[in-house]
Every structure is written in structure tokens, then in C-alpha cells.
Structure 1
Amino acid sequence: MKKKLLNSVVAVTLVAGVLAGCSDGGSGSASNQGSATAPADQAKGANKEERTLNMMTGVVGGKTPEENTQFEKEIERLTGIKAKINKPASDYDQKLLAAIAGGEKFDLLQVSKDMMNKLIAQGVLTPLTDQVKGSKTLSDPNVLPTQEWDQLKTKDGKIYGVFTKFQGGTMPIIREDWLKKLNLQEPKTLDDYYNVMKAFTEQDPDGNGKKDTYGLSTAGLNDVQGFFAAAGLKQRYVEKDGKLDVPYSTDAAIPVYEWLNKLYKEGILDPNFATNDTGKMRNAFLADRVGIITYWDAWVGLLNNARLQQDPNTKFEAKGLPGVTDPSGKNMLRRGDPDVWVIPVNAEHPKTAFEFIEWWHTQPGITLGSLGIKDQDYTEKDGKYELTQAGKEHASDHGVPFWYNKSVQPAFPKLKGVQEAQDLVMKYATVELTPPNWADAEKIINEYSFKAILGEMPAADAVKKMREQLKAKKLID
């Protein structure tokens, strides 16, 4: 109820700003305004508004508040746009909604597709369809592949957001070095995974002489698609014959819940899985406390890089896996909802915001979003790049670890294990279907899934109750 009230306040706040005549709708392309690095397709002189941006981002920007200020200055150096970046350290969506409800006006927001859908439903985002079609940069299939736009279009074909980066997918990530140490084969079936996880729990893979490891850790139900694939079940929603359903609430999911409950009862599954956030899960993996986690493909490389920076001689090796095969031998991974740039309807500088979005997909924008700040994160001479110590620690990720633009080549090879993990995603993963009411459904799914996994309720009963609740609240058809 509190979240619904906050969402209503957000909608009223933004719409009220429009009624007060605080902004232009942002139609048409923005211009260079003399910026040497702005996209060439900007109509000269079209942008008469002040070249200032008030932005709120989740991952784009500096790694610390101090570096975030330097990031703002780098944007101004490269584009001539004075940017103010509000980048919360945690609880991004809640703080975003609270900031807007408090009356703060933003020109540009970085949000998930899920959040974008909610804001579209509230009527508080500027449609960008015409601007995207009229932009030589964003309509170029070598910059943003044509088929990828299908992820973002509404049912009536409108575009409200533009990709911030290439979004990969999730999968089981395993300690390959532990697998080799214990002379085990990579798992393929649920039974295989059970045997490997049991060995990781009981056979002292970290070699400290203590029974202090777990076979599996997760952050709730995030990214467990690779296990439910055993029953051919897709995460979140599916749509068939115009009807919406949640596969994790069907009888076919019962054996997977029972399998997870077995892991929990035998001490193989991290007992904190239900309350873990992703940071705690990652830290357990890096600290040799767990052998398998479920997370993003990009983190295969980031995890390897983190340990390599600590110890150049480390034997640590993270590796992405394709998950469990279904009875027909097929794999099914999850490709995550993309992060997007959106422009609120009450933005005071909508043309400058769209100019920035276009610039973000050019060489200098991608360099800033990946390598970071020149002379702080990297140095460049005669086209050759070198990371500073800070740059190495930041792992070439200031919001854009990977991108679409084929004309922009990476300055450095991808981190260890990333390419192989991305290949698995492109081969086996599909995008989730996330309706605006997903948050309400997720609460019910989590409640009864956790009861089944923790053994507080038989899996069959938990699935039955889950389905009854989803139907009662009209969250499935």
C-alpha cells in the first residue's frame, strides 16, 4: 500500500509539472551547440535551451561520490553539457520515486525496463519514437541492432526508452578451480548439480580444513532460471493466446522446489539465500564460502578480475554454465530486462537530454561509460590506452561494460570468462516478460517459494497457495 501511494504521488507530481507548463515535450533532434563530440546528425541551432542536465542514475557515473563529481566534469569537458548526477549508493528505485515525489525534476533517468513500464503506465514519460526514428545515430543498426528495439516497444509500437548498454543475461556461475581440484565434471542435470554442490559443501574445496563452505548461494529467487529450466519453466511471466501466466506457480515447478528444499535441508544451500542481496552473495563467492552462485554473465569477468587484482597468482576461476537441460536436452537461460535512458514529461531540458542519449552511443560516450575518466581511470597516447590502478579496480565499467555499437572496438580484451558466458546467453537466453504489476506478483511468488524451499510448507501446497493468491489478485489470467 505504501509503495502504491508513493507511485501515485510520483504520477501527480510529474503531471502537475507538465500542467504548469514547465517543459517542452522534447520532440525533434537536439543540436551540437558547438560540441566537437556531439553526434553529427544533430540539426545545427535546433537546441536553444540551456545545455544543462539533472540526471539520476543507478550505475552510470563514478564509483564514489568524489569520482561522481569528476564524472560530471568529464561530461562537460566532452560535450559542453553541465551535468548533475544523483547516484544513490543503494535502494535506487525507492530513492528515485521518493526524489520525484519530493518535487525534484529530472531531465534524464536511468531505469530498468520494469520501472520504465510503471512510469509509462502513469503517463509520466516522454515518447521518443519520432526522435529515435529521426536520429541517424540511434536508428543505425550498427549502433543499435534493429531487432533489439522489440525489447522496448510498447504494444502500440511506441518507444519511451533508449538502451544505456548491452544487457546480457544470468546463469549459474561456478568455481571452476574447485571443480578441477575435486576432479568433478561440469554439471548438466539437477542430479549432476546436486552431486557437485554436495562435494563443494563436504570435501573442503578451499583447503582450510573446516566445513565452512556451501554448494550454492543465491539472492532470493533472482537468476535461478538455470535450475527451473529443468522443467522448461521461464522466469517471471509468459503470454500464450493473449493470457498471462507465471510458470513458477504451476505444478511443473513442484519438483524444482523440492530439489531446492533438499539442498536446504542438507546444508548445501546457503541458509541466508532468502535474505541475501547480490552483494552478500558475490562476497561469499569471492571469499571462498560458496561454489556456485546465480548471476550476470558480466560478473564472471568481474569476479575473476577482483581476485586477480588481490593476488596475481590466484587459482580462483569463475566460469559461466548453461544451466540445467530439460528432458529434451534444451537449455533455458534468462536474458535480463535492459536498462534504459528515459526523459520525464516535465524535464526542463528534454532536447539536451536526447542529445546526451545520442552522444552516449558514440565513441567518446562509450569510452566514458566503460573506461571512465581520462587521466584518472586511463591514459591515452597515439590511440593507445592504459588503465591506471583506479581504472583496473573499476574494471572498465562506469555503467557500460558492454555496448552495441560495432564501430567502437574495446580498448582492452574482455575479462576472463566473459566472452564464453555471453556466448551462452546469446545461444540460450530470452528476455523476460515483465508487466507493470510484476512487483505485486513477485511478493506472492517469493513468499510461497521460500516456504517451499525452507520446508515450511510442502512444495505442492505452496504452489497451490501461490496460484490461488495470484488469481485472487488478478495477477494471472
Structure 2
Amino acid sequence: MGLNYPKRMRGPTIKVAISSVLALLLLAGCSGSPNAAIPTNPVEPPSSKPPETKSVSPLEIQMTARLFEEAPNMENSYWKEFMKRTHTKLNIEWIPDGDYTTKLNLILASGNIPEVLVINNLKHPPVVNAVRNGAFWDLTPILGDFSKYPNLKNYSAPDSWVTSRIIGKNYAIPKNRPQLSGGPKIRKDWLDKLGIPMPQTMDEYRIALKKIVDADIDGNGKKDTIGLVSKASLFSGSAGGFGDAFGMGKPTFDADGGLIYEQLTPQYADMIAWLRDLYSDGVLAKEFAVMKPTQAVELFEAGKAASLINESFRWDYSFMSTIKKVQPEAIVDTVPPLQGLNGYAVRYSTGVDGAFLISKKVPEEKVRRILDFFELTNSKEYYDFSVNGLEGIHYNKVNGEIVLTDLHKKEVGSTSPWQPITLFFDKYGKIVTPVAPKEYNDAKIKQTESQGYLTKGVISPFSVIDSSTWVATWPKFQQEWTSMSVKAIVGQISMDEYKAYVKKLNDDPNIKKSYQEFAKDYKETFGK
């Protein structure tokens, strides 16, 4: 189960990469088929009054946004209607997600900050430093008791206004996301072809992938299928939830009572040893350490990889549809929560997927209008609009069900409409997809619930707590630590050598000081 937040949390409450290799290590349908609108939490839709438009000119906002698909045409019918409804003019710089951290660092270093800056990591040191240096508005006094912002208070992720705080205050406007994202994708048709049961444990998953790579599963006579590719850095530990299967997310204290950073725990070393076995088996992609997110997805969609992480459940149907173009028998599924030595391969997020920061250069009157924009769009009405688009243009209703048109994919897409808004919180939002039939979505919800995906995960305390000493210290070690982790996985050093290196890090005075600060923040936040 996830961490239980204390009562005080229930109220309303990219690094210029140290090296080019490290920068690479870091991150981020069927038209005309019957489709169902994404189901949402059983709550009454909030009111969403349109803004006054008679005497006030449209709100022009300069912002950045993460891009996960082709850059949208902001002059198409969807975006024109969006800006009409919100009485805005959005000037968005769309940045591919794989390049976002690098671009973010350049923006922060130059000081040429847009009015609204999207951040993809609330704990990213350059972001925290920019906040400390006064680059962004402290919104705490403006938000107040949220009486003027009921949608932002009531229809954001649970405790998101607490977990998104930077240096203890609400500088960030959290972007909501389902707390459950997804698990490893796997080619179920290949499992069936080889007579392999769906894996239930980490060891069974490793064995299944080994059998697939050892077989000429695609029939090309080359045995060149890759077992596992990852869109996210495997060194995060949260990719695929793998680290949590070994207990990485569970608080671990040193002899002095300091809270050890999760990637320097003994449990994390157990995960490195497991990845080492996958690499030795020929299962893990040889280029895993420098593979870009787009490359991982392309390999999986081309039918050249057996398993992919990190993508949400909602992508299973799209992946399957794409692969069927080259391998018609393809079936893509998500494995059940894989049991490991000390838990399950399931990690919950805080419900916050990055955030918006407002530049301090923006006048206070405009800050309030920007907040009104986020308040307006954090509603069920705008959520449904961002999923389905305009009736008669992007979808039609057939026998009461939503059927997407060919124009939907071109003008609305799957993720772009979500990027400039905080997004109404929907716990099923990453399980179902508007491009799949209602029967498929309903079955997917039932499957994930019955498998325990909604009960077996954890929230890492390091998603919430902070340490100023850690922010200043860890960048000095991160490149070397990453290099040592790679060496351990590919067998260039032994696991004993790796563990000795981690011990040396944990004995560093500044890191030990960080652990004391983590422990203090943990106790204050969670009451433990």
C-alpha cells in the first residue's frame, strides 16, 4: 500500500547534464472504431464558468510544453475552439520530452524564462535553485484557502498541493496525473506461441524473456529479438516499478538514524544485480544505457522487442494496433504486478506529473488571470473536451457511444491537449484510451483492479521530502555513480566492488548530512 499522509496534508493545501551520456540516460489507433469516453472518478463535475469576455482582451500566455507526439497545429479546429472557450491566446514552445531536461536547463541558465514554464521534475536541482533565487512567483498567499479556486482544490490529485511544494511553499501549480501509471508491456502472443504462462514474479519475467530471445520468435532465422527495452532510465529504479519489487521505495535508515536515499540502499543494489543477470542472459538491450525513449518505442512497435517499459496501460491498445501492421498476430498486454524479494513491481506517483511555474517577471494582475485559466480548465468539462474534441468534427455518438473520426488523431491527438492544462484528476486516466472500444476499456479496468495494481504499489517518500544539502551534493557524484551502475550491470566490475563504492558514497560527510535532513523532513511530513 502507499504511504498514509498525515492529517495536516489533507487540506487544500533538466540538470545541464553532467555529461552527454548522462543526459541520454535521463528522461520521459484505429480511426472509425467505436470508442468510449474515458471514465472518471465518481464525483460530481465541478462548475466551470466561462471567463468574462466582453471588456477583457484574450489572455495571451507564453509557455513551454512537453511533446509526446507530432507538434500540433495550433490553428486547427480543436485548438481554435479551446482558445475560444478559455478566452486565451496560447503561444506554446513544444519541446520533445526526450530533450526536455536539456532545454529546461538552457532556459534556466539563460534567465530567458517564459511566462509559464513547465517543469518535469520538482526536485531537479536547477529548478530548486531558480526558485530559491526568486525566479518564480510564490503563489501561496494568492491561493490562500483556495476559496477562489475550488476546482484546483477539489479536483486535483490527493494532497497534490502538498507534494508539489518547493522549499515548503506553493510555487508550482501541479499537473495532475493518475497515481497508477503502468507496468511492463509484453508480447502475449509470443508467450502463447512458446507455451509460457504470463509471468507473476520477477524471476518468471526474466526466464520468459530469456526463452523469447533464445527462440526465432519472429521467424526471420536470426534470433535477433531484444528481450527488454526501456523508454525511461533504468537507473531511476521506478522504471517498470522494478526497484519497488526489491523494496527500494521503503524507508531505510543508516546507523545514525539518517534516511538513506533510495538509489543508495541495499535494496537498490539487489535490483542492479537482477539487471546484471538480464544483461548476462542477453535479454537487456545492449545499448540500454544510451537508448533514447523514441528508439525504445520504435523497436517495440516494429516487433523487434518482447517487452517495453515505461508506458501506461492506455498504450497497450495503440501499440498492439501498430505492431499488427507488421505482425498481424501481435497481442500486447501488461504483466501483472511482478513479485520480487521485498515487494511488487508497482510504483504509485504522488499524482503530480511535473508542474507549471510562473515567472516573477509576470505582473501580479496577469498572474491572477493565469491562475483563473488553470482553475477554469481543471474541470470534468475540459477534461472530456481534451480527450474527445468537438462533436461532429472529432467524434460522433453512435448508439450512445463515442466514435472518434479520422480527424481526431490529426487535430486532437492523444496527449498534446493535456499539456497546457493541469488536467482534471482521473484515477483511471492511464488505464483506458479513447482509441479503444468501450468493451476493451472496461476489461482493462477490471483486469488491473483484479490483479492488484490499485493496491500493491508504494509512493516513495523521496517523491515528497527534500534536503538542501542533497541538492547541492548529489550532482557532484551522479555521473560517477551512473557510470559505476552501468559497469556493474554489464559485468565490468563485480557486485562486491559496486557495493563497496556505494558504501563510500554513504560515508561521505555531506551525504550523511543529507540523510539527517531527509529523516527530519520525513518525520515532519509523515509523522514517523
Settle same-fold status: TM greater than 0.5: yes
Q: Write the distance in 2 (CA, Å) between the matches of 1:56 and 1:162.
A: 15
- Decide which moves more: 366-375 or 105-114: 366-375
Q: Write the distance in 2 (CA, Å) between the matches of 1:154 and 1:381.
A: 47
Q: Write the distance in 1 (CA, Å) between the matches of 2:248 and 2:312.
A: 20
2:133 paired with 1:128: no
8 Å contact kept, 1:249–1:464: no
Q: Match of 1:458, as an amino acid?
A: S
2:433 paired with 1:426: no
Quick one: which of 141, 146, 151 aligns to 2:163? 151
- Decide which moves more: 420-429 or 451-460: 420-429
8 Å contact kept, 2:63–2:114: yes
- Decide which moves more: 145-154 or 375-384: 375-384
Matching residue of 1:10: none
Task: Describe the superposition over 1:281-319 as per-residue Cα deviations: whole angstroms up to 9, x where unpaired.
Answer: 222222222212221324543543542784795432232
Q: Match of 1:124, as an amino acid?
A: A
1:179 Cα deviation from its structure 2 partner: 1.5
Q: Over aligned residues, Cα RMSD in angstroms? A: 4.2
Q: Match of 2:418, as an amino acid?
A: V
Q: Write the distance in 2 (CA, Å) between the matches of 1:185 and 1:331.
A: 18
Matching residue of 1:456: 492
Give the direction of change, closer, same or farther, for the CA distance of 1:175–1:106 in structure 2 (3 Å limit): same
8 Å contact kept, 2:66–2:100: yes
Quick one: which of 67, 80, 92 aligns to 1:73? 80
Q: Write the distance in 2 (CA, Å) between the matches of 1:124 and 1:306.
A: 45
8 Å contact kept, 2:62–2:116: yes
2:151 paired with 1:138: yes
8 Å contact kept, 2:246–2:271: yes
Matching residue of 2:48: 39
Task: Describe the superposition over 1:112-160 as per-residue Cα deviations: whole angstroms up to 9, x where unpaired.
Answer: 233464543443232333427123433553x225434442235746463
- Decide which moves more: 339-348 or 415-424: 415-424
Matching residue of 2:216: 204
Q: Write the distance in 2 (CA, Å) between the matches of 1:403 and 1:177.
A: 35
Structure 2: state its 5+ residue gaps: 1-14, 19-45, 516-528
8 Å contact kept, 2:151–2:379: no
Matching residue of 2:5: none
Q: Write the distance in 2 (CA, Å) between the matches of 1:424 and 1:442.
A: 35
Quick one: which of 77, 86, 89 aligns to 1:82? 89
Give the direction of change, closer, same or farther, for the CA distance of 1:102–1:252 in structure 2 (3 Å limit): closer
2:262 paired with 1:247: yes
Quick one: which of 95, 98, 104 aligns to 2:106? 98
Give the direction of change, closer, same or farther, for the CA distance of 1:305–1:358 in structure 2 (3 Å limit): farther
8 Å contact kept, 1:303–1:318: no
Q: Write the distance in 1 (CA, Å) between the matches of 2:245 and 2:426.
A: 35
Matching residue of 1:189: 201
Report the number of matched residues: 439
Q: Secondary structure at the match of 2:243?
A: helix
Task: Describe the superposition over 1:75-119 as per-residue Cα deviations: whole angstroms up to 9, x where unpaired.
Answer: 322211111011123511322342354454422222223346454
Task: Describe the superposition over 1:28-47 as per-residue Cα deviations: whole angstroms up to 9, x where unpaired.
Answer: xxxxxxxxx993397x79x9
Q: Match of 2:48, as an amino acid?
A: P
8 Å contact kept, 1:297–1:418: no
8 Å contact kept, 1:38–1:79: no
Matching residue of 2:282: 267
8 Å contact kept, 1:138–1:144: yes
Q: Match of 1:135, as an amino acid?
A: K
Matching residue of 2:331: 316
2:371 paired with 1:354: yes
Q: Write the distance in 2 (CA, Å) between the matches of 1:379 and 1:318.
A: 28
Q: Write the distance in 2 (CA, Å) between the matches of 1:388 and 1:225.
A: 33
Give the % identical residues: 19
Q: Write the distance in 2 (CA, Å) between the matches of 1:446 and 1:78.
A: 47
Give the direction of change, closer, same or farther, for the CA distance of 1:440–1:185 in structure 2 (3 Å limit): farther
- Decide which moves more: 270-279 or 254-263: 254-263
1:271 Cα deviation from its structure 2 partner: 0.6
Quick one: which of 382, 388, 409 aligns to 2:405? 388
Q: Match of 1:267, as an amino acid?
A: G
8 Å contact kept, 1:124–1:344: yes
Q: Secondary structure at the match of 2:307?
A: strand
Q: Secondary structure at the match of 2:510?
A: coil
8 Å contact kept, 2:61–2:116: yes
Give the direction of change, closer, same or farther, for the CA distance of 1:145–1:211 in structure 2 (3 Å limit): closer
- Decide which moves more: 93-102 or 373-382: 373-382
Question: RCO (CA 8 Å, sep 6+): is it higher in 1 or 2?
Answer: 2
Q: Write the distance in 2 (CA, Å) between the matches of 1:146 and 1:258.
A: 35
Q: Write the distance in 2 (CA, Å) between the matches of 1:128 and 1:400.
A: 22
Task: Describe the superposition over 1:221-250 as per-residue Cα deviations: whole angstroms up to 9, x where unpaired.
Answer: 144463333432229x87789734233323
Structure 1: state its 5+ residue gaps: 6-36
Task: Describe the superposition over 1:255-288 as per-residue Cα deviations: whole angstroms up to 9, x where unpaired.
Answer: 4323322221232221111111222122222222
Quick one: which of 301, 322, 331 aligns to 2:344? 331
8 Å contact kept, 1:39–1:137: no
Task: Describe the superposition over 1:330-357 as per-residue Cα deviations: whole angstroms up to 9, x where unpaired.
Answer: 4252234522233222225312211221
Give the TM-score, by structure 2 length: 0.69
Give the direction of change, closer, same or farther, for the CA distance of 1:106–1:50 in structure 2 (3 Å limit): farther
Give the direction of change, closer, same or farther, for the CA distance of 1:297–1:410 in structure 2 (3 Å limit): closer
Matching residue of 2:190: 178
1:427 Cα deviation from its structure 2 partner: 1.9
8 Å contact kept, 2:303–2:323: no
8 Å contact kept, 1:444–1:469: no
Matching residue of 1:15: none
